[in-house]
Each structure stands twice: as structure tokens, then as C-alpha cells.
Chains A and B, each alone.
Chain A
């Protein structure tokens, strides 16, 4: 079945460093891809999405490009802030059955 694999954390960076969180997927169809962020004790918030190959999703300085040839959707940010500390989840959704499948999440710590 469909699945999502993302890099294990925690990832610890200094403020203003460049961030990459890797995400790869396996899907039989043509899924939409998403990144969500979760702050402590809260639900998930949609960060960005891409619905077809070569689409780039972006929001709040974060970007991710839907790469069909490498089945990847890596999350990047040029200069992280302490407030970016959270858990980040990569996910996919197939329009055929509406299921949303999540990766295990990557915890990000940003040091001042």
C-alpha cells in the first residue's frame, strides 16, 4: 500500500541555519503531497501542499517540490528561527479513497 518515509529526528540546528527534512513516498496512483507542523500539545496545521508533479508548495518561508522521478517531497527553509521548533509531518492523499497517510514525523529543535 501507499506509504511515507521521512528522516528520523530530532534535528537540531542553530538559528538562521538552512533546513532540509527529507521525505519520500510510495504510491500506486498520483497522490497529493503535504507537509504539516505540530506544536506541543496541539493538533496539526497544514504548512504547504502540492497536487501534481513539479508543483512547488510554499508558506512562511518553507518550500517543497513534488518530484515524481525521485518520489520525494523534501521540506526546505533558508533561515530557520527558534519559533520553527516543532514536529513536522510529511503526508500523502490519494483522491481515489480520500485516505491521508502520514510519515512518523521529524522533531526540529532550533537553538538561539
Chain B
């Protein structure tokens, strides 16, 4: 089945630690995205990538980093520089015609 997978579903991190969230898609989409969602809030764009080996900052990129070495994969690293990382993180990919497909999300909690 085609789709987007994110792992893990729940993640706990101690303050000061970096953590990497996985996102994989087998839909053959060029565009991929990372969003952050806080309780009762909308989605805020962290980073997006239109093609392999290229990515752009979104509205809240500070404290995050990404890579796009393969078309299928777009991992997000939450660094210790991110002051308030506890949130629900959503990965998506999109075909050229638009209409993104979302993964199930990773809920990150900083202890």
C-alpha cells in the first residue's frame, strides 16, 4: 500500500538532547513537508522540500534541521536549540497537482 509512515508514534526526550523524527513515503512525490501542531492550534510549517538535496525554511525553522538525501525520506531533527519542542509533528508529501498526504504524526514530549 502507498502512503506515508512516521516513526515513532510517541517520543520522549530529555532537555538538551537532539532527537530525529522519521518520515518515509512510497508515493513517488517530489514535495515533502514538516509541520508542527500545538494543542488547539493550526499547523505551522517548519521545513519543506521540493526535490532531493534541496529544502527551504518554513515559518518556524529555528531549532530544527532536515535533510533530503533520498526522494522517499525527509527526517526532521529537533535540536536542543528548540526552546519549546513538545508538540505533535506531522509529515506530508504532495503530488504536483496538489493535495498533500499526511502521515499519522509523532507526538514529542520533552521531560
Q: How far is the CA of A49 from the CA of B33 in the complex (A)?
A: 19
**Contact among B56, B92, B97, B105 with A100 in the assembled complex (CB-CB below 8 Å):** B92
B104 to chain A, nearest CB (A): 5
Query: Which residues on B sit within 8 Å (CB–CB) of A89?
Result: 42-43
Query: Which residues on B sit within 8 Å (CB–CB) of A51?
Result: 97-98
**Contact among B50, B90, B96 with A43 in the assembled complex (CB-CB below 8 Å):** B90
A98–B90 touching, CB < 8 Å: no
Q: Say if the beta carbon of B103 comes within 8 Å of chain A.
A: yes
**Contact among B31, B42, B104 with A42 in the assembled complex (CB-CB below 8 Å):** B104
A52 to chain B, nearest CB (A): 11
Contact code string A30-48 (vs B, CB < 8 Å = 1, else 0)? 0010101000011111100
A45–B99 touching, CB < 8 Å: no
- Tally of contact residues, A, Cβ under 8 A: 23
A58 to chain B, nearest CB (A): 14
B43–A34 touching, CB < 8 Å: no
Q: How far is the CA of A27 from the CA of B42 in the complex (A)?
A: 19
Query: Which residues on B sit within 8 Å (CB–CB) of A32?
Result: 97-99
B92 to chain A, nearest CB (A): 7
Q: Say if the beta carbon of B48 comes within 8 Å of chain A.
A: yes
A102–B42 touching, CB < 8 Å: yes
Q: Say if the beta carbon of B86 comes within 8 Å of chain A.
A: no
Query: Which residues on A sit within 8 Å (CB–CB) of B45?
Result: 99-101
Query: Interface residues, chain A, CB within 8 Å of chain B?
Result: 32, 34, 36, 41-46, 49, 51, 89, 93, 95, 97-105
